[in-house]
């Protein structure tokens, strides 16, 4: 496994750049990962990230639709906050695993 | 008398009612099955109707023909499950009491959930083939169509039989080739997935087939709405795809009854333990088939494989023993690829579809992830097996648990 320094901490990441341990996540780590994605995080971003981290912890599959039903933002805003593959980007910034769509 | 109640008499419910009636004493156990419709549809057959390969007659039979003697059959819409009181309310105000409940209400297409879908062009230039009505309307359209842009879109995930839309475009390619008008038809596959399929090895094989057949793919397209006036698909991030005729898999959702019962997720799929197949909330409720939120395909083959596991665990629950049988997510799908050929994939929760032979290692007769005539016959045979063996809950010569024998591990 590779490691990378985010916000002064050495953090383990997988080959696609996702955090290996969700527990190593901090808001500052999120800001730096977001910067790599070209995103500057606002309060609204953080509310969505919190929702995603909660949902991931509960073991229920995370979907774009579930974020649209979160009461925080609708799907259109989700695409605006995390342009180009919002679920993958938001998951990476939230420090959780890449969502796997099961077929 | 103790009571088992089965909700839904489709593929999963029918398999289960047959298994249970055989295993349980009639004097001891009363079994009841409820469904709102009297007709059983062989849904895999819908795929062939638009191309004049199957007719309506090939895919419908009365549900009653497949229920065993000695069970109560109730034709009524289910309103909600009141799990705290072990009872199920039917529309019209009556209710049924149970000791054990099996939910098998499947998943339905919901075109009403996408703006502009069930609108001016619905069943005129926009069709689904996941219902008998849509499949027949599309057949009538194709018979007269003179060509243009054919777009196949998947509105959202998950949807049942994940390979069906790919099979649809392979069959469309063959159909228009045989009609001598393939050069007048432009075929595009528009999907929310990052490629033709989710898993790497199968995606590679399927992408090659798409290329070979000159079918374009637009990945990572998440449908927001349909512009009927300009005949365009529009995604949440403002991508547009124009069409002359659109075949679509609308959003799939579990029954609204599940939401009213407080047992489901955002899409009304019942929260289910993926190994034991028991409800996560109630010890006397089990879930079979498309109705469950399992992280595997929603497919008839999954209903079949998991039925054996559910059966064992239900027997254990009845006798108060721990639930030892564990479902591994085993799915097995034939993929029609057109021109009398087919492919086959076999996978579970942990292992992606791999090449090899099935079910006998090294022998087959079916080739995994290979495009062969034999696999096509497998699919053709499947209809006979479905009506005569599968629904009756009889054993097939294939294990419920997936096996690695005969598979080749690929490394990149
Ligand atoms: C085009 C197409 C192609 C397919 N191809 C394949 C294939 O090649 N291989 C494969 O394995 N699978 C295939 N499938 C999938 C397969 O048909 C389904 O996965 C399977 O039928 C699921 O069984 P089920 O019992 O869970 O749901 P269903 O068979 O859909 O049954 C659900 C039943 O519940 C009833 N119901 C629902 N809600 C209520 C309510 N509120 N009140 C009363 N009754 C209710 C419905 O009327 C229905 O009879 C295909 C499906 C489609 C649409």
Q: What is the mean pLDDT of residues B173-183?
A: 97
- What's the token pair of residue B251? 């959003």
User: Does residue B235 sit in the same domain as residue B125?
Assistant: yes
B405 falls within a domain:
no
Taking 80 as the threshold, does the pLDDT of residue A17 lie above it? yes
Q: What pLDDT shows up at residue B412?
A: 38
B211 falls within a domain:
yes
Q: What pLDDT shows up at residue B278?
A: 98
Q: Name which of B389, B362, B361, B366 is nearest B376 in CA terms.
A: B366
> Cβ distance A103 to B162 under 8 Å?
yes
Q: Name which of B112, B145, B142, B146 is nearest B48 in CA terms.
A: B142
Name the DSSP letter for residue B293: -
Q: Domain range for residue B360? A: 332-390
Summarised one tens digit per residue, pLDDT across range A49-85 is 999 999 888 777 788 888 998 999 999 999 999 998 8
> Cβ distance B79 to B188 under 8 Å?
no
B411 falls within a domain:
no
Summarised one tens digit per residue, pLDDT across range B274-318 is 999 999 999 999 999 999 999 999 999 999 999 999 999 999 999
Q: Name which of B222, B217, B234 is nearest B192 in CA terms.
A: B222
Q: What is the mean pLDDT of residues B215-244?
A: 96
> Cβ distance A90 to A49 under 8 Å?
yes
User: Does residue B175 sit in the same domain as residue B194?
Assistant: yes
Domains of chain A: 25-103 (1.10.10)
Residue closest by Cα to atom 7 of ligand 1:
B44
Q: What pLDDT shows up at residue A28?
A: 95
Q: Which candidate from B192, B295, B297 shows the least CB-CB separation from A61? A: B295
Other residues' Cβ atoms within 10 Å of the Cβ of residue B368: 24
Name the DSSP letter for residue B390: I
| Average pLDDT across chain A, whole number | 90
User: Does residue B68 sit in the same domain as residue B92?
Assistant: yes
User: Does residue B239 sit in the same domain as residue B259?
Assistant: no
User: Does residue B247 sit in the same domain as residue B121?
Assistant: yes
ipTM: 0.83
The answer for B339, left when phi > 0, alpha when psi is -120 to 50, beta otherwise, is left
- What's the token pair of residue B397? 């010569």
Q: What pLDDT shows up at residue A85?
A: 84
> Cβ distance A66 to A55 under 8 Å?
yes
Residue closest by Cα to atom 6 of ligand 1:
B44
User: Does residue B124 sit in the same domain as residue B233?
Assistant: yes
Q: Which residue has the higher pLDDT, A102 or B57?
A: B57
Taking 60 as the threshold, does the pLDDT of residue B161 lie above it? yes
B354 falls within a domain:
yes
Q: What pLDDT shows up at residue B411?
A: 42
User: Does residue B301 sit in the same domain as residue B386?
Assistant: no
- Helix spans in B33-131 (H): 56-59
B171 falls within a domain:
yes
State how many domains chain B has. 3
Q: How far apart are CA B364 and CA B379, in angstroms?
A: 15
Q: pTM of the predicted model, to two decimals?
A: 0.94
Beta pairing, strands B107-109 & B72-75: unpaired
B112 falls within a domain:
no
The angle formed by the CA atoms of residues B338, B342 and B343, to the nearest 5 degrees, is 135
Q: What are the backbone dihedrals phi and psi of residue B190, each rounded to the nearest 5 degrees, phi first?
A: -115, 115
B263 falls within a domain:
yes
B398 falls within a domain:
no
User: Does residue B363 sit in the same domain as residue B291?
Assistant: no
> Cβ distance B161 to B256 under 8 Å?
no
Q: Which candidate from A83, A84, A103 shows the least CB-CB separation from B297? A: A103
Catalytic annotation present for A102: yes
Residues of chain B found within 8 Å of residue A65, distances taken between Cβ atoms:
156, 266-267
Q: B77-103 as b/e, with b when 16 or more CB fall inside 10 Å? A: ebbbbebeebebbbeeeeebebebbbb
Taking 70 as the threshold, does the pLDDT of residue B84 lie above it? yes
Q: How far apart are CA B107 and CA B311, in angstroms?
A: 21
CATH number at residue B225: 3.50.50.60
Residue of B nearest to A81 (CA): B237
| Average pLDDT across chain B, whole number | 94
The angle formed by the CA atoms of residues B133, B135 and B136, to the nearest 5 degrees, is 65
Q: How confident is the model at residue B13 (pLDDT cuts 50, 70, 90)?
A: very high
> Cβ distance B353 to B330 under 8 Å?
no
- What's the token pair of residue B66? 């497949």
Q: What are the backbone dihedrals phi and psi of residue B332, each rounded to the nearest 5 degrees, phi first?
A: -150, 115
Taking 70 as the threshold, does the pLDDT of residue B410 lie above it? no
Interface contact flag, A103 B199, Cβ < 8 Å: yes
User: Does residue B204 sit in the same domain as residue B262?
Assistant: no
Percent of chain A with pLDDT over 90: 65
> Cβ distance B270 to B291 under 8 Å?
yes
User: Does residue B91 sit in the same domain as residue B25?
Assistant: yes
Name the DSSP letter for residue A17: S
Q: What pLDDT shows up at residue B145?
A: 98
User: Does residue B184 sit in the same domain as residue B152?
Assistant: yes
User: Does residue B229 sit in the same domain as residue B188?
Assistant: yes
């Amino acid at each position: 496994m590779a490691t990378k320094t985010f916000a002064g901490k050495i953090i383990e990441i997988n080959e696609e750049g996702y955090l290996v341990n969700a527990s190593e996540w901090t808001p500052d780590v999120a800001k730096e990962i977001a910067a790599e994605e070209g995103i500057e995080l606002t309060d609204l971003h953080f509310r969505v990230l919190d929702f995603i981290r909660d949902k991931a912890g509960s073991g229920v599959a995370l979907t774009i639709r579930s974020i649209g039903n979160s009461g925080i933002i609708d799907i259109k805003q989700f695409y605006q906050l995390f342009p180009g593959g919002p679920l993958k980007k938001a998951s990476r910034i939230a420090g959780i695993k890449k969502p796997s769509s099961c077929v | 008398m103790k009571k088992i109640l089965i909700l839904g008499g489709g593929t999963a419910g029918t398999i289960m009612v047959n298994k249970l009636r055989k295993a349980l004493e009639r004097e001891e156990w009363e079994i009841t099955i409820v469904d709102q419709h009297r007709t059983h549809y062989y849904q895999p057959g819908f795929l062939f109707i638009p191309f004049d390969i199957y007719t309506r007659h090939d895919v419908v039979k009365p549900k009653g023909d497949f229920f065993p003697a000695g069970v109560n059959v109730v034709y009524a819409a289910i309103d909600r499950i009141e799990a705290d009181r072990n009872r199920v309310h039917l529309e019209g105000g009556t209710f049924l009491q149970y000791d054990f409940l099996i939910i098998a209400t499947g998943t339905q297409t919901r075109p009403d959930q996408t703006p502009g879908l069930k609108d001016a062009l619905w069943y005129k230039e926009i069709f689904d083939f996941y219902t008998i009505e849509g499949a027949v309307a599309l057949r009538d359209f194709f018979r007269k169509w003179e060509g243009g842009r054919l777009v196949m879109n998947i509105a959202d995930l998950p949807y049942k039989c994940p390979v069906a839309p790919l099979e649809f475009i392979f069959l469309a390619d063959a159909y228009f080739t045989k009609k001598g008008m393939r050069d007048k038809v432009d075929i595009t596959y528009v999907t929310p997935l990052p490629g033709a399929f989710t898993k790497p090895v199968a995606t590679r094989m399927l992408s090659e087939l798409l290329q070979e057949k000159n079918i374009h793919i637009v990945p990572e397209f998440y449908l927001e709405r349909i512009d009927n006036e300009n005949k365009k698909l529009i995604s949440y991030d403002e991508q547009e795809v124009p069409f002359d005729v659109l075949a679509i898999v609308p959003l799939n959702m579990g029954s609204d009854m599940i939401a009213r019962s407080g047992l489901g997720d955002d899409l009304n799929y019942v929260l289910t333990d993926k190994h034991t197949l028991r409800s996560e909330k109630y010890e006397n409720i089990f879930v079979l088939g498309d109705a469950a939120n399992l992280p595997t395909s929603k497919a008839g083959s999954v209903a079949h494989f998991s039925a054996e596991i559910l059966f064992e665990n239900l027997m254990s629950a009845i006798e108060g023993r721990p639930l030892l049988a564990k479902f591994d997510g085993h799915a097995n799908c034939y993929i029609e690829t057109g021109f009398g050929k087919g492919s086959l994939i076999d996978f579970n929760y942990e292992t992606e579809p791999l090449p090899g032979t099935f079910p006998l290692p090294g022998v087959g007769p079916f080739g995994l992830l290979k495009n062969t005539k034999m696999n096509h016959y497998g699919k053709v045979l499947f209809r006979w097996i479905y009506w005569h063996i599968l629904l009756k809950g009889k054993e097939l010569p294939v294990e419920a648990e997936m096996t690695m024998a005969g598979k080749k591990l690929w490394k990149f």
